[in-house]
Structure 1
């Protein structure tokens, strides 16, 4: 359980080494949580979001570990978050066409429909995205 302003919410959380191989482990944690909660409607986007969040932390944070959390916010909504020990806030930017990276936050912004943010901590930050299934019908 994670304590929020709305009270305790079910959550899965794990501390992982800040290495590229942890991205696959974080995706499995997200898959497990969403499977247990029966939230397959957000599984694909949650996997992409946690991959982008953790990749950013691996590339830009400091220290040896990060914390990944998946919190159930409602019947169909989850929050995917990564905490690291860097106070540097990520910035949403437009990557040039010839750049290999720099699109992670733009991807997160699109998949979360702009519902993401950064919570500063005294020792670092938490970057999160709230995700829900797309309710639009295919014909709209």
Structure 2
């Protein structure tokens, strides 16, 4: 094998390795929940007073917000919590004198200024929490 052939082969191997590394990084990043947000807002469109906390998929959870009635919302800025950046998170909603519910969908925590908004609808024991934006 000539020197030039070895040089081209080495360059090609380096390019392939870099491509594989980038692809592996993209796969790891795509494993995060979407969207990636800094704040979680929950709008109370339900027939009860409620509060919420934010729970990470690893079980860590923030303190609850204060309680608030229908047609109001509260927001938790995740930078003020102990939750780790890139954690998959979702709200845990507590209806006063009612049930506790979590949505099925997670979002990822990124320090980017974006907000995920969830809507709560229903009654104290029969309600849903839905990601709306």
Query: TM-score interval w.r.t. the shorter chain?
Result: under 0.3
Which of the pair is proportionally richer in helix? 1
Per residue, is there more strand in 1 or in 2? Answer: 2
TM-score normalised by L of structure 1 = 0.27
TM-score by length of 2: 0.28
Structure having greater relative contact order (Cα 8 Å, sep ≥ 6): 2
